[in-house]
Chain A
Amino acid sequence: MDTILTVTNLTKKFGLLTAVKDLSFSIEKGNVYGILGPNGSGKSTTLGIVLNVVNRTSGSFQWFNGTASTHQALKKVGAIIERPNFYPYMSAVQNLRLVCKIKEVPEDRIREKLELVGLWERKDSKFKTYSLGMKQRLAIASALLNNPEILILDEPTNGLDPQGIHQIRELIKQIAAQGTTILLASHLLDEVEKVCTHVVILRKGENLYTGKVDGMLASHGFFELRAADNGQLRSFLESMGAFSNFSEENGILTAYLETPMEAETLNARCFENGIRLSHLVKRKESLEQQFLALTNNTAPRAS
Chain B
Amino acid sequence: MKRLLQIEFIKLWNNRSSRVLILSYFILLTSIALIAAIRFDIGPIEFHLAEQGIFNFPYIWHFNTFVTAFFKLFLAIVIVSMMSNEYSNKTIKQNLIDGLSKKEFIGSKFLTVLSFAGVSTVFVFVVSMILGLIYSDYNEVSIIFSDMEFLLAFFVKLVGFFSFCLFLGILVRRSAFALGFLILWAILEQVFFGLLGWRFVSWETAQQIKDFFPLESMANLIKEPVSRLNAVQSVAEQIGETIELDYQVHAYEFLITLAWTALFVYWSYALLRRRDL
Contacts and interface: CB of A to CB of B under 8 A. Distances in A.
Q: Does B bind A?
A: yes
Interface stretch (A70-78, A208-216, A247-255): A70-78
B14 A55 contact: no
A213 to B, nearest CB: 27
Contact of A85 (B10, B91, B99): B91
Contact of A89 (B3, B14, B96, B277): B14
**Nearest 6 pairs of A and B residues by beta carbon:** A75-B99, A71-B101, A74-B99, A85-B94, A85-B90, A53-B277
Interface residues of B, number: 26
Contact of A102 (B14, B100, B274): B100
Contacts of A51: 96-97
Given A48-B276, A54-B277, A98-B7, A85 B101 contact: no
A281 B186 CA distance: 79
A111 interface: no
Interface in A41-92: 48, 51-55, 69-75, 77, 79, 81, 83, 85-90
Given A55-B274, A83-B90, A102-B7, A89 B99 contact: no
Given A97-B10, A98-B11, A101-B10, A86 B99 contact: no
A104 interface: yes
Contacts of B16: 89
A101 B276 contact: no
Contacts of A53: 93, 96-97, 276-277
A53 B96 CA distance: 7
Nearest to A74: B99
29 contacts: A51-B96, A51-B97, A52-B101, A53-B96, A53-B277, A55-B274, A55-B276, A69-B101, A71-B99, A71-B104, A72-B99, A79-B97, A81-B94, A85-B91, A87-B14, A87-B15, A89-B14, A89-B15, A89-B16, A90-B14, A90-B15, A97-B10, A101-B6, A101-B7, A101-B10, A103-B99, A104-B3, A104-B99, A142-B98
Interface residues of A, number: 33
B205 interface: no
A237 interface: no
Contacts of B96: 51-53, 71, 74
A193 B67 CA distance: 68
Nearest to B273: A55
A297 to B, nearest CB: 31
A94 interface: yes
B97 A74 contact: yes
B95 interface: yes
B195 to A, nearest CB: 36
Interface of B: 3, 6-7, 10-11, 14-16, 89-91, 93-102, 104, 273-274, 276-277
B50 to A, nearest CB: 42
Contacts of B95: 102
Contacts, number: 82
Contact of A88 (B3, B10, B89, B98): B89
Interface of A: 14, 48, 51-55, 69-75, 77, 79, 81, 83, 85-90, 94, 97-99, 101-104, 142
A52 B3 contact: no
Nearest to B4: A101
Nearest to B94: A85
B104 A54 contact: no
A85 B89 contact: yes
A101 B8 CA distance: 10
B98 A74 contact: yes
Contacts of B6: 101
B7 to A, nearest CB: 5
Given A71-B104, A73-B99, A104-B99, 17 more contacts: A48-B277, A51-B96, A52-B101, A54-B277, A74-B97, A74-B98, A79-B97, A85-B89, A85-B94, A87-B14, A87-B89, A87-B91, A89-B16, A90-B14, A97-B10, A99-B98, A102-B7
A50 to B, nearest CB: 10
Given A55-B274, A87-B11, A103 B91 contact: no
B89 to A, nearest CB: 6
A173 B164 CA distance: 48
B175 to A, nearest CB: 14
B36 to A, nearest CB: 38
A36 B10 CA distance: 38
A86 B10 CA distance: 13
A288 to B, nearest CB: 30
A97 B94 CA distance: 14
A17 B53 CA distance: 69
B276 A54 contact: yes
